[in-house]
Structure formats: structure tokens, C-alpha cells
Amino acid sequence: MKQAFNPYLPSYEYVPDAEPHIFGDRVYIYGSHDKFDGAFFCMNDYICYSAPIDDLTSWRYEGVIWRKKDDPKRPPLILKQLYAPDVVQGNDGKYYLYYFKGSMGIIGVAVCDTPAGKYKFHGYVRYPNGTLLGRNKESDLAQFDPGVFRDDDGKIYLYTGFGEKKPNVFTHFRPVNYHGAMGVQLEDDMLTLKEETLTRIAKTQHCSQGTGYEGHEFFEASSMRKFEGKYYFIYSSVLGHELCYAIGDSPLGEFKYGGTLVSIGDVGLAKYPMNYLGNTHGSLIRIKDEYYVFYHRQTNRHCHSRQACAERIIRNPDGTFKQAEITSCGLNGGPLKGEGTYPAYIACHLYKKGEPRFLTMRIPKGHHPYFTQTGKDREDNGDQYIANFGHDSVCGFRYFQFEKDEIQVGLTVKGKAKGKLLIKLDPESSPIGEIDIDVATKTMMKVEGKAHVGKGVRPLYFDYQGEGAFDIHELNLK
Ligand code: FUB
């Protein structure tokens, strides 16, 4: 039986900012496209993946849908990159892709007859008088991360904005947005704003006092969804590592702060960050009767190799959402089988005890375990693994359905290390088994031990105590 893991795309794919949308009987994801080990965010062209709504284990590569060079403007160097996009189906049945090109400050639109075909340039978002949104120097606030939404009455809305915390390098290019995310209705041409003025949606740090947003103010990643008559504005907060939401009764609000949907380090649910932090971006979707939150995780010791993940999330009867845990089994619809061989990169928790965990610039190699791959950025044959698992490194997988109390646990490893790998059900609890580590090899070898897991649905943690460091490629349970 096929199972779904996190990340849910092949391990060589680095797709952050993924917005899920259902078109027909498939769910499509539209994200940015990082280069493995890239020097900047979003160095690759947009690609798309889709899966049948009945089978979220089967993601199909749809190919490149939009390239940096398809946009007629030719900015220099890093301004070329395609940041987080979104797609909406227009009232003419066509699909419209909204993208933000590097730091040019304007929003481009491309159009296609099918959800994941080759998009063609359509134009730039503009004011009714023709001035491009973002180019009206007198009054424009920073544009960023366009989100698009079609309401049941056919009206189309654009959401945009960037909540700069204080003046920084970008403020040389565009005015600082101290006021929050913005929303506006679009004309049927999908380019022209219906109003001269955009409506402010969620609050930034500069205007949050007494509003309920405090501590989780808007930073970036605007996205709109509607469930059972309520409008959900989804965004990445000033903390970066979490997706939050605000609820309103109409597409342009007012929006009241709702809570955290997911944190890529389980901040808010765990005592300390359980994985590397950094930015995240994504959205909510309902597939049949279940809700899911899509987001991205950080890999490779810096913030330019991000990967698409998703979790089932509970919507409470009052319309609020319960923060989702990050797991290894996201779209699987339940725990993974408690026997079989799994790639180690599906660990949902990975950290070194007591070390800082916020990824922006590259952290030094010697100190942390991290997800990486061999070779360069590529489009097949993924071999991602956990590297540099040294003393006090912890990785966790959840959840498995164990059918017996005691299991044999094997790991495929390589490296140079001598010590003990403690097997636990919780990083803070006593071991339920251990594996002797005595490795000095550049080729893979298997290490094994027994663990008393107990029948039922359980996580599995590994905590290394010893000298040296090793890489973990596979986990085998029997
Ligand atoms: O992927 C580039 C930028 O990082 C996006 O535009 C932001 O939302 C953040 O995820």
C-alpha cells in the first residue's frame, strides 16, 4: 500500500510557498521554486504538481509552468527571482497566475487555459488610471506575495503586502508598510483594481496594540480561503516560522486574529523548537471533509532550500482551527505502518539539544544535524538524508502504527562515530531501546537494536550520545 510522507514531493524538489487549490478532481500546488543549496530564495522557474483528491499519496509532476524569462521586464540579477505566486480561476474559465518578481515591487499576471499548462504573460496589476500597483511612489505600500481569491459570487480579490518590522535594505526601493496586509477587488480583466485605495486587512507590529494580533502580527504570505461562509486570511507572522489566520465575515474584513495554524518547529505545542525555524508560507484547503494546512520546512543549514509539507488540521465547531502538529505522515490520512523501510529525511523533528535554530544565513557545518542531499540541484533521483548526526542530536518520526510491543529497529548510516543511539518515545523520556554505534565507513552500513514500543500509535525518537558524527539514510522497522 502506498503511503504519503512529509515532505510530500520527491526529495529533490525544493518547493516553498505552496498554495493548494482544487481544480476539477485534482489538487494543484503553486509555489516558488528554490534551488538546492541556492545562494538566494527562489532561483528556479515555477513548476507545478498535482494529485487526485482521492489519493494524496500520488503527486504528479506537471512540469514548468512559468519561467523567469517569460516576463517581458528584464531586471538585473537577484531581482529576477520569482517569489511566492498564487492562481485563481477567472470568470472566463481561464487560470490566472499572480507572481511577484524579486524586489521589483510590481505584481505580474500570466494566463493559461488549463491549471498547469504553459502560462502566457497577461499584464501587470494596475490602478484604474493605469499606474502599476507598487509604482505610485507617493502612496504605495510594499507589494509582496500576491494571494488571489474568487468568491462564490464571482468577485475576484487580490491580497498583497509585506510587514517590514523596521527600515531595512528593501526600504531603499519601496516605502515601508507599517499598516498590514492589503486587499482589493479586481476588474474582470484580472489586472485592474476596482478601487483607488486598498483595504487594510491584518495588522503589523506598528498598529497591533489592543487588536489581538500582538506577538503574531502580519509579516508576509497573504492567502485567502472561505469555509462555511467565513473568510480566513492566512499569513506568515512576524515570527516567520508559523502560519496564522484571521477570520472575517466578508472578503475585505474586518479580520480578527484567529491563532496559529502550524509552526515548522512546533513552537506553541512543544517546550522548545523541534526543528529548524526560518520562514514558512502556505495555506489551508478542504479536501472532501478534511482540512489540511500546507507549509514549507527548512533544510540544508540555510533558508534557500525549502520543501513542501502538509498536515491534516482540525477545524473546531466554532470555526477556529487547532494548531496542527508537524508530522512525518502529513497527507497519509493516519499513521505510517509500524514496519518497513523509510527514508530518514521524513523525520519531522531534527535538532541539536540547546542550539539556536533559526535559519537565515548558513549555519556552520560542524554543529548541527541537517537534511541535505548529495550532488547539485536536480530533477530526479533524490537521495536526501540526515547529515552530521553528532552528540546530542535528536531526530523524531511520527506517527507509526505498531502492531506488536517489541520491534527491531535498523538504521542505514555512514560516518565516523562511536557511542549509543538511544531510542525513545519522547525526546525527554527514558529510552525504550538502544543501538550501539561504532561506525568508521564512507559506505553505508546497517546498525540495529530492539525497542519496546508498545502496541499502538507512537512516535519514534533517536538521541545520539557519543563521539563523532554519522549520516542517517534509512530507517527500517520490523
Ligand atoms: O520564497 C520567497 C519568500 O520567502 C516568499 O515570497 C515569502 O513568503 C517567504 O516564504
Cis-peptide, bond into residue 7, ω within 30° of zero: yes
Ligand 1 centroid–CA 116 distance in Å is 21
Domain ranges of the chain: 19-332, 337-477
Ligand 1 centroid–CA 256 distance in Å is 24
The yes or no reply on domain 19-332 and CATH 3.10.105.10 is: no
Compute CA distances 230 → 81, 99, 248, 265, whole Å. 34, 26, 6, 28
Contacts of 214 (CB under 8 A, 6+ apart): 208
290 is known as an active-site residue: no
* CB of 375 closer than 8 Å to CB of 448: no
| pLDDT for residue 33 | 98
Compute CA distances 327 → 239, 256, 262, 350, 417, whole Å. 20, 28, 11, 12, 28
How far apart, in whole angstroms, are the C-alpha atoms of residue 209 and residue 178? Answer: 13
| Beta bridge pairs of residue 435 | 421
- Residue by residue, what is the 3-state secondary structure of 326-337? CCCCHHHCCCEE
Provide the residue-wise pLDDT of the chain in tens; the chain has 478 residues. 899 999 999 999 999 999 999 999 999 999 999 999 999 999 999 999 999 999 999 999 999 999 999 999 987 766 788 999 999 999 999 999 999 976 678 999 999 999 999 999 999 999 999 999 988 766 677 788 999 999 999 999 999 998 866 666 655 555 556 677 999 999 999 999 999 989 988 777 777 888 999 999 999 999 999 999 999 999 999 999 999 999 999 999 999 999 999 999 999 999 999 999 999 999 999 999 999 999 999 999 989 999 999 999 999 999 999 999 999 999 999 999 999 999 999 999 999 998 767 766 677 777 789 999 999 999 999 999 999 999 999 999 999 999 999 999 999 999 999 999 999 999 999 999 999 999 998 899 999 999 999 999 999 999 999 999 999 999 999 9
- Report the nearest atom of ligand 1 relative to the CA of 280: 10
pLDDT in tens, 65-88: 999 999 999 877 667 889 999 999
Looking only at the bridges linking them, the beta strands covering 336-337 and 393-402 are parallel
How far apart, in whole angstroms, are the C-alpha atoms of residue 24 and residue 466? Answer: 53
Q: Which residues line ligand 1 (CB under 6 A)?
A: 16-17, 32, 41-42, 83-84, 145, 220-221, 236, 279, 281
Answer positive or negative: Cα dihedral of 124, 72, 83, 171.
Answer: negative
How far apart, in whole angstroms, are the C-alpha atoms of residue 83 and residue 147? Answer: 12
Ligand 1 atom 5: residue of nearest CA: 84
Number of Cβ atoms within 10 Å of the Cβ of 212: 13
The yes or no reply on domain 337-477 and CATH 2.60.120.260 is: yes
**Catalytic choice (13, 17, 71, 434):** 17
17 is known as an active-site residue: yes
**Catalytic choice (71, 86, 145, 220):** 220
How far apart, in whole angstroms, are the C-alpha atoms of residue 431 and residue 455? Answer: 16
